[in-house]
Chain A
Amino acid sequence: MSILQIGAVLLIVLFMLLGSGIWVAISLLGVGFIALKVFTGTPVDMVLGTSVWGSISSWSLAPLPLFVWMGEILFHSRLSEDMFAGLAPWLGRLPGRLLHVNVLGSGIFAAVSGSSAATCATIGRMSYPELKKRGYFERMIIGTLAGSGTLGLLIPPSIMLIVYGVSAEVSIARLFIAGVLPGALLVVLFMSYVMLWSLLNRDKTPPPEPSMTLTEKLRGSGRLIPVILLIAAVIGSIYAGLATPTEAAAVGVAGSLLLSALTGTLTWATFRDGLRAATRTSCMIGFILAGASVLTVAMGYTGLPSGLAQWIASMHLPVYALLAALMVLFLILGCFLDGISVVVLTTSVVLPMVQAAHIDLLWFGIFLVIAVEMAQVTPPVGFNLFVLQGLTGRDILAIAAASVPFFLILLGAAAIITAFPEIAVWLPTTMSHG
């Protein structure tokens, strides 16, 4: 069989396993197993043991469970309430008024949490009922929540960037810093869209809140200061090279425990629940990474990724065409798979192709994560849609429809960082250690 035929067979097997409801991690393991057994002559048990052990016992994976835990602790704290009370007084004068709470709140929470659905749920839990009560247009409330919730994946700390960094062997510290400016760009784009929309739909924006004095505003925002400090400590220390991502994550865990102790939300029950949920989520991700490591090794033995890379290189595609094709592929995969699976499949199969096209792997990580962000708001499988379905009781298709403008903005952002890659790769070059 030729390499491409082998690839086609494995791909069909993978989608059969995934489609029939076999857990993603076990499907990846299964395809890797079959590839090793049928297409290579290696001792499968040895390869399986070493590749799984090597991928999961890695020091570079340590920030993942810690950042997941940090997000869990803050998710159970009063942050949701504080965010609304702290941001709302300042945004009443902008066109679109309190809708900006969703965008900015998500941006801030994204800087302490690495997950999109957690960001969406934390901000939405408080702001959805509040905004609805005040008479904001529901489609926009839902759209802003779904769209800006995805910032959790891009703005550091980001679970998705850790997964990419570990499996593509790119520095996680540099990936984190590379995500900062594209994340800020998205916040600006989302807010601009909200302003533009409200200027065009003045009748759909409720009147401003009664004005508050500066002292009152500052008092409302005071409770956000510890969170801002925590963000500065975590991201700042990575940027300045004072701490590795793992150390920053451990400090972040300690800081968020302190924060929830100070606001009185830290009890034995919340501590235990947060730790339990974090253990479960990291286990789920770690198991997928373990399955993906078997697939990656098996792929290496079959020579499929390098074969694909040569095939693509022989076509002399312009880089833009290749990226456009990959974006389409990511979006199709993203309709059916969760983001982590899309990332690990990409790194197992597509990465040599990307390298052969001389695309910077640091930049590609950001591009890939923006594609995964879009997948969070596309039905039938989009985690932000699921979260908002639970929160609002609306039909998933209605929520997806409300998210369409934000989906298009994400696509635009991917185009912008393709045209101006410096937005992603410039900031990491200014780091003192990398």
Chain B
Amino acid sequence: MKTLHRALSALYGLCAVLAAVCLAAIAAIILAGAVARQFGLVVPSANAIAGYLVAASTFLALAPTLRSGGHIRVALFASRLGRRTRRWLEVWCLGLGTVLVGYLAYASVEQVMNSYRFHSTSPGLLPIPMWIPQLPMAFGLAVMTVALLELLMGTLAGRMPDYADPAMAVADEEAGL
């Protein structure tokens, strides 16, 4: 169990790093495009690639953002409950979250497979096979489902999820928004 937890934490960490690299790559490719334009050159499909990187960064960061309490929720009522009731509320949130995000992950895996099967490519100068940029979305959502499931199991076993400290969530939002 402990090994599994450690392996999953490493997976979330890897996703966080990849997401950050994707974000930095957006800036890099846009700047490269702007500089190239001054010399009359064109970075092919820079706009489309920037869009794909936004998607990759967003979805890869889902699970690590969940762990650090970065996703916004209305904690108004939850924070007033006693510990016991609160734990059941967390079970409800995590349970429904696992189902819904799991279904979205399934839908996006299906999307990747369809794009692969029907050889869809991106419009623009550089025809990119669509399954490539769609893959990080499916992967990120799958990891998010696993993260929700892991927290659900932990909460059922009696541990409060580590994002659930409302003070911490607020501190995170302060830094971000």
Contacts and interface: CB of A to CB of B under 8 A. Distances in A.
A404 interface: no
A53 interface: yes
- Judged by DSSP, the binding face of B is helix
A283 interface: yes
Interface residues of B, number: 62
Contacts of A50: 111
A40 B39 CA distance: 52
Interface stretch (A59-67, A78-86, A420-428): A59-67
A267 to B, nearest CB: 16
Residue of A29, A49, A281, A340 contacting most chain B CB atoms (<10 Å): A49
Given A45-B107, A279-B19, A250 B34 contact: yes
13 contacts: A21-B89, A21-B93, A26-B96, A29-B100, A53-B111, A57-B55, A247-B34, A279-B57, A287-B58, A336-B74, A336-B76, A381-B76, A386-B170
Contacts of B110: 45-46, 49
Residue of A46, A69, A284, A336 contacting most chain B CB atoms (<10 Å): A284
Interface in B40-58: 47-48, 50-55, 57-58
Size range of the chain A interface in the assembly: 35 or more
Contact of A25 (B51, B71, B90): B71
Interface string A247-290: 10111011000000000000000000001111111111011101
A138 interface: no
B4 interface: no
Contact of B111 (A49, A64, A251, A287): A49
A65 B74 contact: no
A279 B54 CA distance: 10
A386 B61 CA distance: 25
A390 B171 contact: yes
Given A56-B137, A116-B177, A336-B76, A48 B104 contact: yes
Contacts of B153: none
Contacts of A118: 176-177
Interface of B: 16, 19-20, 23-24, 26-27, 30-31, 33-34, 47-48, 50-55, 57-59, 61-62, 64-65, 68, 70-78, 89-90, 92-93, 96-97, 100-101, 103-104, 106-108, 110-111, 133-134, 137, 170-177
A77 interface: no
A283 B30 contact: no
Given A57-B55, A58-B51, A254-B31, A115 B177 contact: yes
A59 B58 contact: no
A19 B108 CA distance: 28
B170 A65 contact: no
A387 B23 contact: no
Given A280-B176, A338-B72, A66 B26 contact: yes
Interface in A273-312: 275-284, 286-288, 290
A23 interface: yes
Contacts of A280: 61, 64-65, 68, 70, 172, 176
A33 B100 contact: yes
A330 interface: no
Contact of A30 (B16, B77, B96, B137): B96
A380 B76 CA distance: 8
A372 to B, nearest CB: 12
A406 interface: no
Interface in A7-22: 17-22
A279 B16 contact: yes
Contact of A279 (B61, B92, B170, B171): B61
B27 A390 contact: no
B77 A62 contact: no
A125 B166 CA distance: 22
A45 B103 contact: yes
Interface string A180-193: 00000000000000
